[in-house]
Amino acid sequence: MMSHIVALSSVRRRCIIILSIVLVPCAILNLLSSSDVHEETMLQNNIAELQVKLEHLHAKYISSQEEINILSHQLLQLVESNHILPDLQYLINNGTSNITNIKLPSIYNFLPHFLNDPNSLRPAFLQSKGRSGVSMVLGIPTVKREVQSYLMATLKNLIDRMSPAEILDTLIVVLVAETDLDYVTYVAKQIEVQFPNEYETGVIDVISPSSSYYPQLSKLRDTLGDDHQRVVWRSKQNLDFAFLMSYAQTKGMFYIQLEDDILAKKNFITTMKSFALQKVSTKENWFVLDFCQLGFIGKLFKCVELPWLIQFFLMFHNDKPVDWLLDHLISTKVCNLDKDSKHCKMAKAELWIHYKPSLFQHIGTHSSLKGKVQKLKDKQFGKITLYYAHENPDAMVETQIKPYKQYTLKKAYKGESFFWGLLPQPGDHLKFTFTHSIFIKRYLFRSGNPEHPSDRFYNTTVEVLPEMFRSVDRNNNDITEDGYIIVGKFDALGIAQGTVDKKYGRISVLRLTVHSESENWAILSEIHVVEDQPS
């Protein structure tokens, strides 16, 4: 009890110190000349960032006080039952004289099943290096999809679109919203293997809820005329978002809700942070900044205001979809029932601010709801690059893999489109026979594309056939029965890149060989063979 009171006093002192830090620059700002616009903007952003951090600290103070009040109530009950040491009674009686006996409703009133298991509100799985205090927390919920998963492609895209400085100031939280710990562990291991640097530096946290976190979903009320399967799906999504936000709210200044099947624009972190700080510095009373026009993608909130959403989602999880609940929450805040819908729309626009052009695009076709196919696209995002064109050495191309429609290997090699092949089988080849044998400096094959990230080449090797067979060591294990040298293979992200040692001399043929059956079709979205000059 004494340690909590000391901690509370310490939090109060920090709040006063930081408040003075914020107010002093505000006075200095008024003295700046109008010519120093750039410096003034930077100073305003710094002040805005301090203001958000102050709000974050104040939220911690409220949380600490709440814990102290709970402890105080518990100690008072011990006093009344004579189960407390006499020398603490004076402190308790003087420190809790203003505590009311009125008990406010809590989330247990709406979800009483939380009381059945003390672990219901704790992550069942947590993989984290403890990163916190960042500017941006990206929340990505994911579930097991029947058709294909987009998660790894989404994480790769997000990380690739961030600068090193942005990565240092960002935390990505992946919520695997499944209670099968074997599957959760499998996803976490995939992330660890495919993103080793981000795993080691704590850029990505992976969490999952306990099975006792969810109520009996089969007993949910059917609402809005939806079939029960859809009611369960959207109700669980509300609970998943609330769990993810609850974990993320103490980790940083701003929280951005994303999905596991999206693309982002380059430097999206800096764009969002600058826009948010600009709105803070001009003292606009916003609640959500919207960086995507679709669903709940790209919605940014102050972490200190997440409790509004968390409580609302938990209270009404069985009633409406998550994006509808967000709209209703904002309507409740500002819409006047005595005025028309036009006034309501204008009032909501002040709290829900849209940024254009969109920073995120939805790429998933197969929804996490079984049987649902969705092709939602944000028209403000712009055109998505589906293939990369290069000028490759002249070659004759051939493959046993049947192309889909006009997406042939020949067009892909010429940079006119991408190759899209139907279900590669073991032993299938993609062969490039050069018109004149060449020295290969480097090669790059990229499989999959943003719209079909899982259509990759798996367990496929890159092989070359030297012009002069006698230069090859036949005892080498990296040589195939027909004399090809294995120089590389596709990695877990569907990319094969490397160099070809000049000791092999001129290369007459380069080929890809598939070694196992694929459950998906396969796309080659980039083919780049760079010719080297003989030394």
Using one digit for the tens of pLDDT, what is the confidence trace for 437-455?
A: 999 999 999 998 888 888 8
pLDDT tens per residue, range 192-211: 999 999 999 999 999 999 99
Same domain? 70 vs 184:
no
The predicted model scores a pTM of: 0.67
| Res 22: pLDDT | 47
* Model confidence at 524: pLDDT above 60: yes
Same domain? 401 vs 351:
no
Q: What total of structural domains would you count in the chain? A: 3
CATH number, domain of 278, equals 3.90.550.10
| Res 271: pLDDT | 96
Domain residue limits at 498 = 395-531
Which residues 6+ apart lie within 8 Å of 419 measured at CB?
403, 407, 408, 409, 411, 412, 430, 523, 524, 527
Same domain? 155 vs 56:
no
Same domain? 81 vs 121:
no
pLDDT tens per residue, range 278-326: 999 888 899 999 999 888 999 999 999 999 999 999 999 999 999 999 9
Task: Kindly state whether residue 51 falls inside one of the protein's structural domains.
Answer: yes
Same domain? 67 vs 192:
no
Same domain? 346 vs 204:
yes
* Model confidence at 6: pLDDT above 50: no
| Res 440: pLDDT | 95
pLDDT (mean) for 269-283: 93
* Model confidence at 9: pLDDT above 80: no
Task: Kindly state whether residue 68 falls inside one of the protein's structural domains.
Answer: yes
CA 186 to chain centre: 18
Task: Kindly state whether residue 98 falls inside one of the protein's structural domains.
Answer: no
Average pLDDT of every residue of the chain: 85
Task: Kindly state whether residue 390 falls inside one of the protein's structural domains.
Answer: no
Same domain? 122 vs 28:
no
Task: Kindly state whether residue 493 falls inside one of the protein's structural domains.
Answer: yes
466 residue type, one letter: P
Task: Kindly state whether residue 260 falls inside one of the protein's structural domains.
Answer: yes
Task: Kindly state whether residue 102 falls inside one of the protein's structural domains.
Answer: no
From 39, 70, 85, give the residue that closes a domain: 85
pLDDT (mean) for 495-504: 93
Percent of all residues in the chain with a pLDDT value above 90, rounded to a whole number: 61
Same domain? 350 vs 434:
no
Q: Is 446 exposed, middle or buried (0-12, 13-18, 19+ CB in 10 A)?
A: buried
pLDDT tens per residue, range 45-84: 788 888 787 876 776 666 666 666 666 655 655 655 555 5
CATH number, domain of 456, equals 2.60.120.260
pLDDT (mean) for 453-469: 89
Same domain? 400 vs 341:
no
